[in-house]
Amino acid sequence: MPELPEVETICRILREGQPGIPSLLGKIIAGVQVLWPRTLANCSPDEFRERLIGQSIQVIDRRGKFLLFQLSPDTLMVHLRMSGDLLVEAVSTPLALHHRLTIDFQDGLRLSFNDARKFGRVWLSADPGEVLGSLGPEPLDPSFTALDLYQRLQTSHRQLKPLLLDQSFLAGLGNIYTDEALHLAHLHPLMPSNELTLSQAERLWRRIRQVLEEGIRRQGASIDWVYRGGDFQNYFRVYQRTGEPCPECGTPIQRLVVGQRGTHICPNCQVLQR
DNA sequence: CACGAGACCTGTTCGC
DNA sequence: TGCGAACAGGTCTCGT
């Protein structure tokens, strides 16, 4: 479930609370259970537990697809990868099958990291830059302009889609939102990035932001068993719509493979030049 | 440097 | 019904 809009949705829920679920801000960590040790990317279960207990949550934020919990001296960083999820539940709730890590608070609530595929990772560090340092710009940050995108595209010869998925190029896009943005911008995923004109780059910039904002507004996309309550999956234009008509021209959507990822395009709206 | 394949994992869906 | 293949929102590493 985790691209920028889904991570942002979880971030807001944990920070601001939800009906029946309080905000986690200010909560003091009283206990930690590491159920799948490889979840911890940069420390041992013992070190993780000892450092975490007693710290409290000061700030909850997002950077790219990372969730950030700023604690007393340390920062806890969570990447959900393909199937990860974060849940707030009572300490008394039985551990679900795919729980990999639980953090108990003094008030009887716990934060549980559930991850069927075990790809998700958690970092604990006093210096978040160690983990986040190589991330590219935030696409929704006001300081990220269309000209910035154009200039970055010019510096690479790579195909558009793999480049947009590269988190050091731009932080937060994944397979769904990249396909959707490229379709909205009428750009082919295999187009060399340095061949985009300024006006094509501006179009892409606007469409990336549009699709991410819509995803956030709809609280993300919920597919299969990974569910969070968002409904953006009902508004996909091309993603997982192979054979269905393009919403703009009616041409059947095609599926191709680009950089080992399923990729969905309208062959009429997204044409590779020459 | 750019790209492809393989690895890491489990669960669901599809095709025969 | 059963069984294997294909596929899934991500990213890292290795070889060419």
Domain locations in chain A?
4-132, 146-265
pLDDT of A227? 61
Compute CA distances A215 → A104, A165, A203, A222, whole Å: 31, 17, 18, 11
Q: How far is the CA of A239 from the C1' of C3 (A)?
A: 29
Per-residue pLDDT of chain A (274 residues; tens, 9 = 90+): 599 999 999 999 999 999 989 999 999 999 999 999 999 999 999 999 999 999 999 999 999 999 999 998 999 999 999 999 999 999 999 999 999 999 999 999 999 999 999 999 999 999 999 999 999 999 999 999 999 999 999 999 999 999 999 999 999 999 999 999 999 999 999 999 999 999 999 999 999 999 999 999 999 998 876 566 799 999 999 999 999 999 999 999 999 999 999 999 999 999 998 6
**Any idea which fold A4-132 has?**
N-terminal domain of MutM-like DNA repair proteins (3.20.190)
- List residues, Cβ < 7 Å, touching strand C: A 1-3, 6, 64-65, 79, 81-83, 117, 119, 165, 167, 174-176, 220-224, 226, 230, 233, 260-262
Nucleotide showing the shortest C1' distance to residue A5 CA = C9
Query: Strands, DSSP E only, in chain A?
Result: 29-34, 59-63, 66-70, 75-79, 84-90, 99-105, 109-115, 121-125, 254-258, 261-265
Question: Which residue's C-alpha is at the least distance from the C1' of B10?
Answer: A117
What's the pLDDT score for residue A273?
83
Q: Could you tell me which residues come within 8 angstroms of residue A68 by beta carbon, excluding any fewer than 6 positions away?
A: A59, A60, A61, A62, A75, A76, A77, A128
CA of A157: nearest nucleotide by C1' is: B2
Tokens of A83: 């199937």
CATH class of A146-265: mainly alpha
Q: Which of A27, A51, A63, A65 is catalytic?
A: A65
The nucleotide minimizing the C1' distance to residue A194's CA is B2
